[in-house]
């Protein structure tokens, strides 16, 4: 959540951090602070109270991520009236018969509608290769899955559902398990209750942001070729695209500490597989985008010092975050891997180890 927070309803409501109205946090000096857009209320360990109009820590905690500024004990969120219904529209395509070619046709076809969908539509695109059976050996399937979430009943945006249906009909030869499915739920929570338990596994990851203009012929061609290569190599690989746009753009890029690319991108992409695949996939996909960046909470955790700071937050944001970190946690008591100020912690630990070894010998 403190890293950004996206969901299928982000185009309609914005990011998770955009909903935060107030935070309470215990700082390294054991004071308790209450943070809002109006300033900071601080209760010191000796019982004294101070107030200020400083909102730096409120800004940093919403997107700076990792709990590296203090221990958050309370969050107050903005609430929204629920939609009349929550609608799920799913299209599942097979790209196994003509790897590369079929994915390119599917992407171009669906993209002709997706780019103009209103903010009521959020959701995911999933593509890749997987073993649909592992005994006696892996039998590979290549797939493209479109999961559209709609804020409201079908009739509220009937023409857009008709456009999606018309486009999927044109691609019927690739449909994996029959026509696209359409399901209405009384609430978003009723949909969530239908989700299966997921078995997680450790994979190498990387990611990027993608604007509408970058989701073009060149990108689709490269993505299709990567999908085909993964299928031929019989090597599982997956990429998940999360739709942004809409209300995620209606908050200024400087209002929270998230990477500014969140505010002008149409998609954030996370892809996973073995280390070699991810490195190759990332190099090719990132060659099509103008600005480097990825979502802090779904990231490559092997980036070099100097890389991850810019990729996760943008250099300007990171410089400001680091100044705030040094102000409120000068001794780096709160840290994690590739979090704000963590490079300083590593150097401090290295110094301690050096001194320990020096005195032992």
Quote the CA–CA distance of 151 and 83 in Å, as a whole number. 6
181 pLDDT above the threshold of 80: yes
Across the chain, mean pLDDT equals: 86
How much is the average pLDDT of 343-352?
50
- Residue 357: the pLDDT is 46
Among residues 246, 113, 115, 231, the alpha carbon closest in space to that of 180 is found at 113
Quote the CA–CA distance of 115 and 63 in Å, as a whole number. 27
In the block, tokens 């590979």 appear at 140
Q: Tell me, yes or no, whether 27 lies in a domain.
A: no
Q: Tell me, yes or no, whether 127 lies in a domain.
A: yes
The total number of residues shown for the chain amounts to 361
Q: For the chain, what percent of residues have pLDDT higher than 70?
A: 90
CATH of the domain at 176: 3.40.462.20
Q: Tell me, yes or no, whether 69 lies in a domain.
A: no
Q: What is the CA radius of gyration of the chain?
A: 23
Q: Tell me, yes or no, whether 136 lies in a domain.
A: yes
Asked if residues 230 and 272 have their Cβ atoms less than 8 Å apart, the reply is: no
Q: Tell me, yes or no, whether 142 lies in a domain.
A: yes
Highest mean pLDDT (candidates 16-20, 294-298, 338-342): 16-20
Q: Where is average pLDDT lowest: 12-26, 61-75, 89-103, 146-160?
A: 89-103
155 pLDDT above the threshold of 90: yes
Among residues 143, 162, 304, the alpha carbon closest in space to that of 238 is found at 143
Q: Tell me, yes or no, whether 73 lies in a domain.
A: no
- Residue 2: the pLDDT is 80
358 pLDDT above the threshold of 80: no
Counting other chains too, the contacts that 299-308 makes at CB distance below 8 Å and 24 or more residues apart are: 299/205, 299/206, 299/207, 299/338, 300/204, 300/205, 300/206, 300/207, 301/205, 301/337, 301/338, 302/204, 302/275, 303/338, 305/343, 308/338
Asked if residues 63 and 3 have their Cβ atoms less than 8 Å apart, the reply is: yes
Q: What domain range includes position 160?
A: 86-286
Q: How many domains does the chain divide into? A: 1
350 contacts: CB under 8 Å, gap ≥ 6: none
Q: Tell me, yes or no, whether 96 lies in a domain.
A: yes
How much is the average pLDDT of 64-77?
91
- Residue 99: the pLDDT is 54
Q: List the structure tokens of 315.
A: 């250099």
**Half-sphere exposure (Cβ direction) of 178: Cα atoms closer than 13 Å:** 2
Quote the CA–CA distance of 154 and 161 in Å, as a whole number. 7
- Residue 319: the pLDDT is 96
Q: What pLDDT, in 10s, does the model give residues 86-116? A: 999 999 988 766 655 678 888 888 888 888 8
- Residue 52: the pLDDT is 96
Q: Tell me, yes or no, whether 294 lies in a domain.
A: no
Residue 196: count of CB within 10 angstroms of its CB: 5
State pTM to two decimals. Answer: 0.87
How much is the average pLDDT of 230-246?
86
- Residue 262: the pLDDT is 93
How much is the average pLDDT of 224-235?
81
1 pLDDT above the threshold of 70: no
Asked if residues 35 and 58 have their Cβ atoms less than 8 Å apart, the reply is: yes
- Residue 304: the pLDDT is 85
Residue 248: count of CB within 10 angstroms of its CB: 26
Asked if residues 88 and 191 have their Cβ atoms less than 8 Å apart, the reply is: yes
How much is the average pLDDT of 123-151?
81
How much is the average pLDDT of 244-248?
93
């Amino acid at each position: 959540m403190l890293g950004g927070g996206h969901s299928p309803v982000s185009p309609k409501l914005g990011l998770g951090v955009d909903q935060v109205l107030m935070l309470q946090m215990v700082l390294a000096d054991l004071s308790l602070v209450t943070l809002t857009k109006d300033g900071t209320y601080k209760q010191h360990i000796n019982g004294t109270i101070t107030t200020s109009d400083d909102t730096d820590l409120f800004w940093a905690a919403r997107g700076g991520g990792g709990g590296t500024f203090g221990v958050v004990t309370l969050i107050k969120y903005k609430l929204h009236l629920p939609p009349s219904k929550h609608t799920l529209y799913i299209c599942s395509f097979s790209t196994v018969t003509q790897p590369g070619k079929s994915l390119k046709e599917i992407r171009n076809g669906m993209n002709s509608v997706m780019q103009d969908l209103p903010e009521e539509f959020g959701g995911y695109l999933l593509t890749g290769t997987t073993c649909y059976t592992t005994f006696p050996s892996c039998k590979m399937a290549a797939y493209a899955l479109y999961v559209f979430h709609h804020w409201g009943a079908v009739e509220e945006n009937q023409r857009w559902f008709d456009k999606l249906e018309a486009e999927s009909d044109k691609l019927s030869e690739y449909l994996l398990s029959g026509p696209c499915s359409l399901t209405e739920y009384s609430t978003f929570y009723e949909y969530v209750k239908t989700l299966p338990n997921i078995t997680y596994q450790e994979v190498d990851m990387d990611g990027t942001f993608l604007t509408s203009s970058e989701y073009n012929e060149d990108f689709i061609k490269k993505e299709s070729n990567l999908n085909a290569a993964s299928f031929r190599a019989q090597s599982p690989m997956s990429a998940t695209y999360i739709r942004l746009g809409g209300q995620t753009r209606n908050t200024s890029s400087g209002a929270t500490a998230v990477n500014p690319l969140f505010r002008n991108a149409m998609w954030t992409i996370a892809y996973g597989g073995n280390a070699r695949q991810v490195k190759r996939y990332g190099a090719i996909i990132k060659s099509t985008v103008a600005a480097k960046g990825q979502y802090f909470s779904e990231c490559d955790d092997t980036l070099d010092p100097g890389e991850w700071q810019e990729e996760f937050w943008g250099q300007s944001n990171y410089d400001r975050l680091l100044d705030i970190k040094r102000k409120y946690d000068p001794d780096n008591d709160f840290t994690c891997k590739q979090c704000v100020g963590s490079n300083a912690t590593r150097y401090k630990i290295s110094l301690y180890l050096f001194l320990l070894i020096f005195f032992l010998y």
